[in-house]
Structures are given as C-alpha cells and as structure tokens.
C-alpha cells in the first residue's frame, strides 16, 4: 500500500516535471522566433537581438517569453 502511494506520488512529480519542461521548451521556441524576427527586420546579429529582448524584459518587468510573444504578435499584426 505504501509502495503504491509512493509510485503514484513519483508519477505525479514526473508529470509535473514533464509539463514544466514542455513549457520551457515552448517559451524557448517563442524567444527564438522573436529573436529571428528582430534579426530579419532590424538587421541585427543573434547576440544583439537577444540582448534587445532581454533589455526589454528587464525594463518592462515581464518575462523574456512574454516580451517575445508581445513582439511576435505586434509584428504579425503589422504584416498581416
């Protein structure tokens, strides 16, 4: 009985870790897309584009992923 509960708890923990990793992966994809858009539209190198995203995140007190999402949404609405 105790073993079954431990297995169930471990499974729940594993599921939570997987969900967190999947979220991080999706955030990374969004950041990479935003970085690519900055590189393309503003002729920046990768390092400068990332620094611009990071600076914007720090100044706005938003996460890097949220700044990236906002940038993507803005650019996509402009270039319908």
Distance CA 56, CA 64 (A): 8
Taking only Cα atoms into account, the Rg of the chain, rounded to an integer number of angstroms, comes to 18
Domain parsing of the chain, residue ranges: 1-78
The tens place of each residue's pLDDT in the chain, 80 residues long, gives 777 788 899 889 989 999 999 999 999 999 999 999 999 999 999 999 999 999 999 999 999 999 999 999 998 888 75
Assigned architecture for domain 1-78: Orthogonal Bundle (1.10)
User: Cα-flanking dihedrals φ and ψ of residue 44, to 5°?
Assistant: -105, 155
Burial of 71 (0-12, 13-18, 19+ CB in 10 A): buried
pTM of the model: 0.83
> Residue 80 has what pLDDT?
53
Query: Six-digit token pair at 8?
Result: 């169930």
């Amino acid at each position: 009985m105790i073993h079954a509960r431990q297995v169930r708890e471990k499974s729940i923990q594993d599921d939570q870790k997987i969900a967190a990793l999947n979220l991080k992966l999706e955030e990374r994809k969004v950041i990479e897309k935003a970085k690519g858009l900055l590189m393309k539209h503003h002729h920046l190198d990768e390092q400068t584009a990332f620094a611009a995203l990071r600076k914007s995140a720090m100044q706005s007190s938003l996460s890097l992923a949220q700044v990236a999402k906002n940038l993507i949404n803005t650019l996509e609405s402009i270039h319908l």
